[in-house]
Structure 1
């Protein structure tokens, strides 16, 4: 039995060594590699609990990219050792994941999962805009992606704008070019060149007069009209000028109320898309843990909430949502300002949010690395306690000096006997004076 256990342990250690070999520990000289190589790099610190959790996932990413024959190298760098790196690459949180491609760098802001990171790496490391040269290829792409942008037509000023916007948003979604001949027959174009987004089982065309700036339109349309929203996509929506209408439900134990809320939200996203497309992003979220942390409170599931991620504000309906009319009234009350806005980013709310985030980070650190966390927090506390103890128990220097005009011990003469008492002026007392005494 013991031998079998040792064999299993040895095999696991071998796998760890092999997998970890695909992730290189970098120093501040790694910038020299960026000129001719593609690099996916994690910026981390030893005290970050999330970094410890993410480490095995990074090793899996490195191993799979290598097995796929990807040209992308995978590495990580400790910013506490190479301190100038954090400021040079504008690192604000940990772990931060960047893909370096020539003179460009792309931040990864999605879920910390192997599949999501590999998809991001493959999308960004290749051409920013890929051609769709046949009907079969177009159908293949549509079957593998829920949302894509397509430029249709020949060279034009619009195409240059499209390529520029694609470079900015390639971190989020896919961009292609195609001719009219390879498009599905259901697609009707009023003019060429044109840009279309294919999502929600249909397509929408860009109209410069109605939709304004192309980058703004792409940023607004890069999410499905209704989908399951996680903390990462919700964080990205802070960049939009949209409110987020969410049905927060428990997917493991769905209730009749949960199903009704999801159905109403999805129906609203399709039937009223044109009316709310500039104001609302619709979706649902599984579980209330993230929302409770965001609003610094607790709401019992299921519930409907509208989030303003720009100011960290939120609105809750004051009455139960039973019908689509109830939901419409609530959303309209948010838009016209009659619904009560809670939260926000005022001084008190900001201070409270910072405190809660710090507390959550500390708890996560102790859960992920208890011994290291004890050292990190215990060392400065121990030093402070030691300084205070030394200060309180130290003897003042003045207490060690004898009082003026006094001696610390009786003076002795050359023979070891007490010296005779002396008058203040140093003259020995006479016998008469002694008698008077």
Structure 2
């Protein structure tokens, strides 16, 4: 007879399984009729293939996204479409990889390129489904937005929505509203601590502070909005590194998520020092215009940039467009905020030669590095499988090569002219002579 505790565990597992099966899915299964309704309403669609391992990993997370939006009573309909069953839809929408996630907003298609995690996808859906430019109607609205929004957000201050500044502001907002938040409000709602340079202006609130757009900084409004939509030191990943480094050089601190906020570790102290340096650089006009600070979770991206091992903690300066980078060469234990600022000023002055780049030799070096790195990672993760994967074909190739090289292709004369035939021919000749 089974113990009572074992029976309870089995029953609880059965109840949990039954409840899980009875939970209604909030993800709509689409078919080829979707092409007729994609331009009406708000759709957040994952295009997948059943054989795709990344798609299989995404599906449970996608269900969570559907339930989270349903709990918020959002108008966004979360859906999925099997591209192997409906290839015409995939062809029409130009789906080239799996999974592909697209937000459909009244005829506008916005591809999601962020992390395949619940919170980033949910935040993307909320931003993309909201108004392109929200309206702040009271001091209470402004206070709640400042308290509840951790990311940078922009506010157009003015009452003339026909002027050139608002026209450029609304155009950039229509391009970036799925990534950043844009608002507008009347000048009377501006806090007394903020002094506007003119009747209409643009303010960015971030990192518990604010900045005003100034036409004398050498950037137009579009460039300024692109540059200021990042916090003082955001997490830089492969999915956003090009966007963050679009207008400025990246100052990347090589850290790790576990020790980053632990002051007792070398990584934690280095992170604090780099944040202090980032705030100091913000107060220097030339550095603020040229640099954007960020941090890396691990050394993988840094290793791919320098084509080698980048220890933790450390930092480098990276140009996304040219793939050039700068390294101070100082020991991480002696790096200070002043030494970092001095190094950045030397880069601006042209005193530090760049490394890397996109030359032919550098591209060949990168290919070799990527191949060897991938092979090493394969052997480290699955040594037996990798050995079979490469060993078996190499063994067959070796056998075939050895067989070809050791074979004797010379032809013996007796194989063409047998000895018996020669004897017969000689005897016939003797008979004719007789």
TM-score range, shorter-chain basis?
A: 0.7 to 0.9
Deviation at 1:49, TM superposition (A): 4.0
SS of match in other structure, 2:240:
helix
> Are 2:143 and 1:136 aligned?
no
What is the match of residue 182 of structure 1? Answer: 189
Q: Does 1:121 align with 2:125?
A: yes
1:296-335 alignment, distance < 5 Å = 296-320=307-331, 321-335=334-348
Q: More deviation in 181-190 or 123-132?
A: 181-190
Look up the match of 1:415. Answer: none
Shift of 1:361: 8.4
Is the contact made by 2:287 and 2:344 (CA closer than 8 Å) also made in structure 1? no
Q: Using the TM superposition, give the Cα deviation of residue 47 of structure 1 relative to its aligned residue in structure 2, in angstroms.
A: 5.2
Q: Are the aligned partners of 2:102 and 2:111 in contact in 1 as well (CA < 8 Å)? A: yes
- The one of 49, 53, 57 equivalent to 2:57 is 53
Task: Tell me how far 1:36 sits from its aligned partner.
Answer: 1.7
Which residue of structure 2 aligns with residue 112 of structure 1? 116
- Quote the Cα distance in structure 1 between the aligned partners of 2:301 and 2:136: 39
Selected match of 1:282 from 267, 273, 293 = 293
1:16–1:357 distance in 2 versus 1, CA, 3 Å: farther
Secondary structure of the 2:101 match is strand
**Residue deviations 1:317-360, cap 9 Å, x none?**
12235333321232133334443433333445445656776888
Report the CA distance between 1:207 and its aligned residue.
2.8
Alpha-carbon shift at residue 66 of structure 1 (Å): 1.7
Q: Is the 2:40–2:107 Cα contact (8 Å) retained in structure 1?
A: no
Aligned ranges 1:158-173 → 2 under 5 Å: 158-173=165-180
SS in 2 for 1:278: helix
The structure with more radius of gyration: 1
Inter-partner Cα distance in structure 1 for 2:193 and 2:35: 49
Aligned partner of residue 272 in structure 1, secondary structure: helix
Answer yes or no: is the 8 Å Cα contact 1:312–1:343 preserved in 2.
Answer: yes
Residues 166-188 of structure 1 show CA distances to partners (whole Å, capped at 9, x for unaligned) of 11011211011111222222111
Find the counterpart in structure 1 of residue 161 from structure 2. 155
Report SS of the residue matched to 1:345: coil
Compared with structure 1, are the counterparts of its residues 292 and 338 closer, same or farther at alpha carbon in structure 2 (3 Å cutoff)? same
**Please, which moves more after superposition, 62-71 or 42-51?**
42-51
Structure 2 vs 1, CA of residues 184 and 195 (structure 1 numbering), >3 Å: closer, same or farther?
same
Q: Distance in 1 between matches of 2:38 and 2:229?
A: 29
Q: Answer yes or no: is 1:98 the counterpart of 2:102.
A: yes
Shift in Å, 1:134: 0.7
TM score, norm. by length of structure 2: 0.76
CA distance in 2, matches of 1:150, 1:184: 13
The runs of 5 or more residues in structure 2 that have no matched partner are: 404-414, 417-430
What pairs up with 1:38-437 in 2 under 5 angstroms?
A: 38-46=42-50, 48-79=52-83, 82-83=86-87, 88-89=92-93, 91=95, 94-146=98-150, 147-153=152-158, 154-156=160-162, 157-208=164-215, 210-238=217-245, 240-249=246-255, 250-251=259-260, 257-273=266-282, 274-320=285-331, 321-350=334-363, 353=366
Unaligned runs of 5+ in 1: 393-402, 405-432
| 3-state SS of paired residue (2:166) | helix
| 1:35/1:103 contact within 8 Å kept | yes
Tell which has more relative contact order, 1 or 2 (C-alpha 8 A, sep 6+): 1
Contact in 2 for aligned 1:47/1:365 (Cα 8 Å): no
Deviation for aligned residue 1:300: 1.7
What corresponds to 2:30 in structure 1?
A: 26
* Change in 2 beyond 3 A, CA 1:46/1:186: same
Listed one character per residue, the Cα deviations across residues 16-58 of structure 1 (whole Å, up to 9, x for unaligned) are 5456822234344422221222111123345544333322211
Structure 1 stretch 308-317 or stretch 116-125: which is displaced more? 308-317
Q: Which runs of 4+ in 1 moved over 6 A?
A: 355-368
| SS at 2:204 equivalent | strand
User: 8 Å contact 1:19–1:60 — kept in the other structure?
Assistant: no
Change (3 A) 1:185 1:28: same
TM-score by length of 1: 0.75
